[in-house]
Structure 1
Amino acid sequence: MTTEQKNFIEKIAAAVNKYKDGYNIKVASPIIAQAIIESGWGESQLAAKYNNYFGLKCGSAWTGKSVNMATSEEYTPGVHTNIRDNFRVFDSLEDGVKGYFEFINYSRYANLKGVTDPETYVKNIKADGYATSSTYVSTLINAIKSYNLTQYDNGGSGNATQPEKPAASAGKSVNELAQEVLAGKWGNGADRKNRLEAAGYSYSAVQAKVNQLVNGTPATPQKKSVEEVAREVIRGKWGNGADRKNRLTAAGYSYSAVQAKVNQLMK
């Protein structure tokens, strides 16, 4: 875990523990995991610019500020559909976390109240229709375990000693993992990245091997200019948030350079 990731967890955890008891929510770890996964460690545009760390859409009841953005849904397992939708906008990280609790205060999420087991919370919120990803439950549980997030469930500060995570669990080679990726075992996009890293593997190494197996040669150098790719991003071709970052990186582009150009073009 990097220093930036640790700081992100601490900030989200502090806000979660500030508000959760007021909504009769008893666990913090699943919510912190959701923030990690939904916002790509706070680096997605929706999180970094609009303080929406949980992918909260507007819905008919929302009367606050909003932004229309591209996103990907998995209505059918394994089939990703690109759409545009309106998302809630918040003024700060703390407002964004409070907004999450207001969102799950609807009656459809009543089964989250009073739950003390993180895994049960995750399964319930998935069953309630919060997310369409077919691997949402396993991805969140892996994040909870990998980053020792249960230490925050009782209002902890996160100073507990965390076990060192091996570079590669289960002893599988990069080639074996790449073959499993091609067989569909590790999901797609941001979900794939999160699951591989949660299991202790190097996403970049595995993805590079996947590209090599698919193409028969190492990934070819990028052909399009940063501005061309940025305009494709604006048209919705490259997805949103962490998914966009993963897809651009896997294709050999610099996410930071492309995103900077997107921000420049959108001004």
Structure 2
Amino acid sequence: MIAVALVAMFVYLVGFGNDTQQSGQAEGESATETSASAEPAGLDTEESIALLEGAGIDVVMAPPVPEAPERWGDYVLNDSWDGQVRVFEGSGVESIRGKDDGRFPATMNGCGSQMYFVTFRSVADPVQLEAQLINAVDEPVASEVLDNGWMLGTNCATPSFAFHSSDAEGNLTDVAYTVHEYRQSSVAQATPPTQAQSPAASQSAPPQTAAPQPAAPSEPTFVHCVPGLSSNAVYSDGSTRRDTRCPEQRALEAERVCGGLYGWQEVSRERYIELCGVEPPTG
């Protein structure tokens, strides 16, 4: 009787140990799968290029954030730099800096010749930012409320940030950003000159039959002027080039009225405030 009881207890203990071991293995596998699925997958180069090419010009975008490829479309990477800017609740918009903490290279003259891909995030976790691209007359051409994301714009606009809201008690945050400067390939890389063929080589070389030439592609059409005071326009193939129809008339008027010595005399008080954002000198 005692022997039978001992055998039954042994069988129970062996079975319980196996169940415990299998349960532990299942829990370990579940934890591993959860950890792997929680890790965000990065975008590869082709996915990043597709996002940049499809984004358009002067946009503020939510994640996923592309990597910075060496080349996309007509653009070639020219330079990159990192920085931080601090924003406070209730304060104004803070613009990011250029390389070596200089002024960001936005300009009214020749703007549109460079493209800037900017990634950003709020260092304080629960803080939402108002991310903007500001043109030469201090008007936002694009704006979104995000805690992290990316921007794509020309050197006609300056990336800027403001404190929007927070789920915690904090009233400030640092905005960490990275700037990638791109130039159109025709600007960034000159085409090497073709070497002239020597007379001897031309005499010894056999005549070649000219290959049939492919049909010339249709010319891209005008879409719209690059916002701001740029003399460049955006065309249907996504390229930008100088166009006599640009810059926009409102930007030209703002430059003349707000920057001229007696520009305030050319328009009404209401128009001056609309263009310049301040009262005219006469009040």
TM-score with structure 2 setting the length: 0.22
Which protein has the larger Cα radius of gyration, Structure 1 or Structure 2?
2
Pick the structure with more helix per residue: 1
TM-score with structure 1 setting the length: 0.23
Pick the structure with more strand per residue: 2
